[in-house]
Amino acid sequence: MKKFTLLATLMGGFILSQAQTAVTIQQIQTVSPQTLATCVDSSSPEGQQVKVRGVVVMDAGLAQAASGRNLWIQAGTGPWSGLDIFDAAAVDLDGLVAGDSVELTGTVEEFAPTGGPKAESELISITAVNIIGSGNPVQSTLVNLGDLNDNTQLNILSTGEQYEGVYVELQNVEVTAVVYFSNNTRVSFNVKDANGNLINVSDRFLAQRLPASGGNFVPPTVGTIYTSLKGILIHSPNGCKNYNGRGYELHPFSSADYQVLQGFSPPTISGIMNSPAAPTSSQSVTIQATIADADGTVDSAKVYYAVGVSNTNYIPLMMTGAASTYTATIPAQANGSFVKYYISAWDNDQLIATQPNVPGNLNPKAYVVADNGLTIKDIQYTPFVDGNSIYRDQTVTVTGVVTASAQPGNLGYVFIQQEGQLGWGGVMCIGNNALSTLVVGDKVTVTGDVKESFGCTRIENISNIVSAGTGSINPLTLDPDVFSTYDFAANEQYESMLIELANPAMNGKVYIINTNADAPANFAEYRVGKDALLPDNGCRVIAGRQTGSAYSSLNVSYVNDSSWALTDGIMNVPVEVVQYGDCMESVTGIIYYSFSNMKLLPRNNGDYVNYDAGCDGISAIDNRNLAEVKVYPSPANGEIHVDYEFSYNAKATLQLVDMMGRTVYAQTLSGAQGAQVLSTAAIVNGTYLIRITDGNNLLFIDKVVVLK
């Protein structure tokens, strides 16, 4: 009888546990006021697999994330009623449309933006999609902007968090700023309510994508009033613990989500350009723009221009219009002049639009008068703290000497630098296969488009490369503390230039002062500085990663983790993991800007002068040949021979690794020398890596092809 009771109890507990996997959206989302007061808004079932029901808010495929398999469901309206569904692998999500009633099985996750806390509840790793019904109404929840953010755009957790993931509506809000980003291919804008409370309206969905990024959205102008503005509310924390997000954000997903108050829409100004882009002192410049009015007609437009970086005395010029194209001519200016301008337009309701909104503290458009053609300095120099080139999105021709190349043994990317420049002299060049033939010291003239990538100015889509002989660039020697934290005035001028970091003290050393500048995350960046006791000073250094946003060398041994040998590119040299207190006389490389930091990109081991592991007078790599290894034949048919000789009695591991990172063969190597024969009888044809490690160091790595 006791056994039966125990079994029943256990079965009852099991049934209860199974039943608890079915939860409501409200149960996932609700956070108590007491918890919110501590700046924590995480979901209580985080990490659990659950079943949840709701009505699909928008068609699948409208979001720009998770391969379009990012959508929201909601249970009714009001607080805690919406939930983010995010799964790039869930094919069954593709067919869902607004109004479908669904039951989804997946795992609750709290998404944490880079540099911020867990902030947004999601259902990921979807394992089951069950459509229960269709045609349900999708309704929005009316909220007060003042319950979400304050007038400095700080989020208000106590009243705003309940609407995270909910399809909400704001009424009677006015556009205060329009912000273009991602090389002007995307746009967001800010709106305020009558009390000045602010929220950013951004483009998670196709509805707010510009033609350059696959949409047809026409951005509003400052002063536009929306009687109704709807969208999904997303949380980007910034109100607690000094997090630096944008507060609660609104993301519309349909053109019907934007309702403009008629008679309160200023003109739109777009497509601003000056021709020629780089005039001589004898050429006037035509300013052209497309100006239109959605709820009336354009009454007039003016160009305002000023000559000189610090001059704020703008001179007005009346523009003339044909259809929606308006032009004006700025008279010729002296060689070397820095000319700034912006445009204002008025409609029949006498509403005004200004682009860029210089009176509202935005940066003007600008160009340089250049009798001898543009230089790298002309396209890099800017007095504006956003760091963007005044020639952004324009085609230019400039000349420079190659300081980093894509040749074997070098950085892997091409940078050129203007001779004789102590600042604003370097630029990255991409987008032409002929760049790979250039070597350090080549002098070239390139033609291409000026672009901004993660805040770094580059020349892309290069259409022409012409040899101009050879040249020589000596690195500019700087104290690593110059780059401790990004400062526009101190740092921006060195972007993309060849820099040597050295300790200015007599016989001073440069130390590894922080082995991971992004802990607990790791993006392969470490810090070097002149004082090992100040780990937040000095300059970031990155090596061993090549991705769409990391442009470091695979020919530098000194990395902050051995995993970079095979991650984000295959390193071509032995790995030496940097340690706190290691030192060197100096380190040279290209200074690059990304993700709010300047960082050094050494090109190869030769950029490190007398690297000393432990700073004990013994060079880490230069005076230690860890291994001599010969692998043959390749392609291998039947056997792979590995002959090895170590500089010490090693206990090493030989691995054959496929291109998915899976080990298909492993063998221990002992002693100072020997030979190993690997049979390929059970190994499928393909390309593999031969990898030898001794527990601390990557001693050898190379490719071998198996072809039977």
Of 6-15, 96-105, 541-550, 591-600, the range with the lowest mean pLDDT is 6-15
Q: What is the CATH number of domain 376-470?
A: 2.40.50.200
Helical (H) or strand (E) element with 675: strand 663-679
Question: Chain-wide mean pLDDT for the chain?
Answer: 89
The CATH architecture that domain 24-133 belongs to is: Beta Barrel (2.40)
307: which 2 tokens?
A: 């000559």
Which tens digits make up the pLDDT trace of 386-432? 889 999 989 999 999 999 999 999 999 999 999 999 999 999 999 99
Q: Give the number of other CB atoms < 10 A from CB of residue 5.
A: 9
Residue identified by tokens 């056997």 is: 639
- The Cα–Cα gap between 388 and 603 comes to 25
Of 76-80, 287-291, 407-411, 612-616, the range with the lowest mean pLDDT is 612-616
- The Cα–Cα gap between 498 and 376 comes to 14
- The Cα–Cα gap between 127 and 133 comes to 19
Which tens digits make up the pLDDT trace of 236-250? 888 776 677 788 999
Specify the pLDDT at position 100. 97
The top-level CATH class assigned to 627-706 is mainly beta
Dihedral sign for Cα 450, 451, 452, 457, please.
Answer: negative
The CATH architecture that domain 268-368 belongs to is: Sandwich (2.60)
pTM value > 0.85: no
Specify the pLDDT at position 242. 60
Rg (the chain; Cα; Å): 30
Amino acid in the structure at residue 267 = P
Intrachain domains 268-368 and 627-706 with the same fold: yes
Specify the pLDDT at position 588. 97
- The Cα–Cα gap between 70 and 507 comes to 57
Hey, where are the domains in the chain? 24-133, 268-368, 376-470, 476-615, 627-706
